[in-house]
Structure 1
Amino acid sequence: MAVLVCFRRATRTPRDNSTRQDDLIPVNALGKKLADTRHEPAPEQPTMLSELIIGTLTILASTAVMIAFVLLTIRLVRRAEANYSDHRPGILQFFILLSSAVVMILLANTVCVWMWALLFHYLEVFPSLEEAVYFSMVSFSTVGYGDVVVEHGWRILSGFVAVNGLLAFGVFTAVLIEIIRGLSDRYIPRR
């Protein structure tokens, strides 16, 4: 839901015609005064140690998710291979198994990105969940557009997202290569 915020000038005495930021009152599209949040105290900045602890624990949780998905993917492939132990399967079975492995890996990466996004949302680093998901996805993939950035106090934690993404892509690349190597020997006939 989009909210249109406008500003109107506060009433002043005739002798004070200067315009200051404090003279502006936030109003909605109908002219109704909105809550003034300009004078709220700044939230406490995290310490470097707290960022390191939070980042390390989140990477460990994400690694547990990756390991679980790797084990599930390998079990899925082995179970499917057992169904074809009495005959040579075709290219269609190879495609289905490989596609299933890719979907499992994409699902694991999605879960990891959502873990980081929910953490950022819980810590109130971003004003909306959408921004937290976007930042987590861009950082996890190490693209780093720079259009959404964290405030100064959470910069170290944002680096952990990129490290976690590099780790995840390395692990899942190795898993996919191993699955392709194992399946291609069995499913694709050599000439």
Structure 2
Amino acid sequence: MLSALVVGLPIILINMLLQSLATMWCIRFYNKRLLDHDSLVAGVLGLFGITSIVMLGNLLQIVAWGSLFLFLGEFNNLHDAIYHSGVNFATLGYGDIVMSEKWKLLGPIEAVNGALMIGLSGASMLAVLQQYVQKK
């Protein structure tokens, strides 16, 4: 159990860094693209851009976990590792692919990490939307 926590912690920290970078990128994008524009098109394109940034950040986090699973030898190819990671990160829990007993605990650890990071992504998008609405 302790080995899973020790191995999972660096990926959690990397994900926190990726999430922070994506959030800051959203703020900068908002300040450059939306802050001074009042049109509907600017609003739609701005929110689309911010959603794209957030999705990219979450996908990079899924790839980070998948890469760890591949490095640990849990999967033979990156596709399966990223699929399993995405299922964990999104807290879907299909259970069609299960890791070995040694690293099985990384699944719930990633799920908790994913739930928090997806929550922060939603909060980032909502903050930008609220700012845009208040400006109107």
TM-score over 0.5 (shorter chain): yes
Q: Distance in 2 between matches of 1:98 and 1:159?
A: 31
Instruction: Tell me, yes or no, if structure 1 residue 146 matches structure 2 residue 92.
Output: no
The count of aligned residue pairs is 136
Question: Gaps spanning 5+ residues in structure 2: where?
Answer: none
Q: How does 1:1-191 map to 2 (within 5 A)?
A: 48-84=1-37, 89-187=38-136
Determine which structure has more spread, i.e. the larger CA radius of gyration. Answer: 1
Give the strand-richer structure, 1 or 2: 1
Q: Which has the higher helix share?
A: 2
- Find the counterpart in structure 2 of residue 14 from structure 1: none
Runs of 4+ in 1 over 4 A off after TM superposition: none
Residue identity (%): 28
- Which string of whole-angstrom CA distances, capped at 9 and with x for unpartnered residues, describes residues 143-183 of structure 1? 01111111111111111110111011110111111111111
CA-atom RMSD in angstroms: 1.2
Q: TM-score, normalised by structure 1?
A: 0.68
Q: Secondary structure at the match of 1:146?
A: coil
TM, length-normalised to structure 2: 0.95
Q: Structure 1 residue 83: deviation in Å?
A: 4.1
In structure 1, what residue type is equivalent to 2:34? E
Residues 1:185 and 1:82: Cα distance change in structure 2 (over 3 Å): closer
Higher relative contact order (CA 8 A, sep 6+): 2
Structure-2 separation of matches of 1:55 and 1:184: 39
